[in-house]
């Protein structure tokens, strides 16, 4: 693979050992598979508490949920904001789950870092360099989603911004790229998983939910991602996906499907 290697700290040449990120005892990038599950958006307190219960019961270790949503259109639901962070933190505490939430602007990094365990950078913000710089000093691990039109080199350089800012705890998340195909919402680039493991020492997470946009493909692509070497998965799950407040209900698993997926994953790799 010919690649410019303008990044350094993200490179395996610089750091041959796999980075393992320990968050409250959950180790990401080590031997065990880490599964992050939950709704696209935190909608209300009852919703996130109920979903957290299912996430825990299925054996996943991390609760996902966006309080700030990066919507394509300005009139769409934009997330519940800071209140959602409080509910997520409460749910994480009650069920003993690590939490991950998206942060969209440098101004909100401090409050997100106060309430959540992992900071998610969305695909639309992969090259929001002010945000990346701020995350370099936030003190919390960061999950950096690949921009939907970003090359591997651009993606690793985005990670480099966070690392260079002083934060060594970065995960790379493949969430699908834009191709000519419209049947799937995005094209999950499975090759990105072994390539990132080769070029970088950072943990690699796969997002088969946004990567396909179709519930019926999520389990298959989850297993394919694990076979390709992913250290973890981030999967959307909702108790009432038909009435979810974002359009992502169509790609969200029902709790029983999430549970079945976790059983199947246990056959492939041990969970933390
Ligand atoms: C999400 O995780 O709900 C999300 C908005 O993801 P992405 O940035 O990959 O579109
Ligand atoms: Mn979503």
Q: What is the pLDDT of residues 112-132, one digit of tens each?
A: 999 999 999 999 999 999 999
CATH number assigned to the domain comprising residue 208? 3.20.20.70
Among residues of the chain, what percentage have pLDDT more than 70?
98
Q: Is residue 73 part of a domain?
A: no
Residue 4 pLDDT greater than 70, yes or no: no
Cβ of 123 closer than 6 Å to ligand 1, yes or no, is yes
Q: Please check whether residue 262 is in contact with residue 271, taking contact to mean a CB–CB distance below 8 angstroms.
A: yes
Report the atom number in ligand 1 closest to the C-alpha of 207. 9
Residue 156 pLDDT greater than 90, yes or no: yes
Nearest-10 Cα torsion for 174, 175, 180, 184: 130
CA 186/CA 182 separation, integer angstroms:
7
Q: How far is the CA of 240 from the centre of ligand 2 (A)?
A: 14
Domain span at residue 133 reads 26-68+79-267
Q: Is residue 170 part of a domain?
A: yes
Q: Is residue 9 part of a domain?
A: no
Q: Is residue 16 part of a domain?
A: no
Domains in the chain, number: 1
Ligand nearest to the CA of 205: 1
Residue 13 pLDDT greater than 70, yes or no: yes
Average pLDDT, the chain: 97
Q: How far is the CA of 69 from the centre of ligand 2 (A)?
A: 8
Residue 233 pLDDT greater than 90, yes or no: yes
Instruction: Specify burial of residue 107 (Cβ count, 10 A radius: 0-12, 13-18, 19+).
Output: exposed
Report the atom number in ligand 1 closest to the C-alpha of 64. 2
In the three-class reduction of DSSP (H, G, I as helix; E, B as strand; rest coil), residue 53 is classed as: helix
Q: Is residue 197 part of a domain?
A: yes
pLDDT (0 to 100) of residue 1 = 53
Q: How far is the CA of 249 from the centre of ligand 2 (A)?
A: 8
b or e along 129-160 (b: 16 or more beta carbons within 10 Å of the residue's beta carbon)?
Answer: eebbebbbebebbbbbbbbbebebbbbbbbbb
Residue 142 pLDDT greater than 70, yes or no: yes
b or e along 47-65 (b: 16 or more beta carbons within 10 Å of the residue's beta carbon)?
Answer: bbebbbbbbbebbbbbbbb
Task: Kindly report, residue by residue over 67-112, the tens digit of the pLDDT.
Answer: 999 999 999 999 999 999 999 999 999 999 999 999 999 999 999 9
Q: Please check whether residue 62 is in contact with residue 258, taking contact to mean a CB–CB distance below 8 angstroms.
A: no
CA 165/CA 213 separation, integer angstroms:
33
Task: Give the pLDDT band (50/70/90) at residue 3.
Answer: low
ipTM of predicted complex: 0.99
Q: Is residue 10 part of a domain?
A: no
Cβ of 65 closer than 6 Å to ligand 1, yes or no, is no
pLDDT (0 to 100) of residue 2 = 57
The whole-number average pLDDT for the span 2-24 is 91
Q: Is residue 3 part of a domain?
A: no
Cα-Cα-Cα-Cα dihedral sign, residues 240, 242, 244, 247: positive
Q: Is residue 253 part of a domain?
A: yes
Task: Kindly report, residue by residue over 43-73, the tens digit of the pLDDT.
Answer: 999 999 999 999 999 999 999 999 999 999 9
pLDDT (0 to 100) of residue 272 = 60
Q: Ligand 1 pocket: which of 43, 64, 101, 102 to mutate (most atoms <8 Å of CB)?
A: 102
């Amino acid at each position: 693979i010919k690649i410019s290697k303008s990044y350094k700290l993200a490179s395996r040449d610089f750091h041959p050992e796999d980075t393992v990120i320990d968050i409250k005892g959950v180790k990401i990038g080590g031997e065990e598979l880490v599964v992050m599950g939950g709704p696209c958006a935190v909608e209300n307190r009852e919703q996130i508490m109920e979903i957290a219960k299912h996430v825990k019961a299925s054996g996943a270790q991390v609760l996902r949920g966006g309080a700030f949503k990066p919507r394509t259109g300005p009139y769409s639901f934009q997330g519940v904001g800071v209140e959602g962070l409080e509910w997520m933190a409460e749910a994480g505490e009650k069920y003993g789950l690590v939490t991950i939430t998206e942060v969209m602007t440098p101004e909100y990094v401090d409050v997100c870092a106060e309430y959540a365990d992992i900071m998610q950078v969305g695909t639309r913000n992969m090259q929001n360099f002010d945000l990346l710089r701020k995350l370099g000093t936030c003190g919390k691990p960061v999950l950096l989603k690949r921009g939907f039109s970003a090359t591997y080199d651009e993606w690793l350089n985005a990670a480099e911004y966070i690392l260079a800012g002083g934060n060594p705890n970065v995960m790379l998340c493949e969430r699908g790229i834009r191709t000519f195909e419209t049947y799937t919402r995005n094209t999950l680039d499975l090759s990105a998983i072994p390539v990132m493991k080769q070029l970088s020492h950072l943990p690699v997470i796969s997002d088969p939910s946004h990567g396909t946009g179709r519930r019926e493909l999520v389990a298959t692509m989850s297993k394919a991602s694990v076979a390709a070497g992913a250290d973890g998965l981030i999967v959307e799950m909702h108790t009432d996906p038909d009435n979810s407040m974002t359009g992502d209900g169509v790609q969200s698993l029902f709790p029983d499907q999430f549970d079945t997926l976790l059983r199947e994953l246990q056959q492939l790799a041990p969970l933390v």
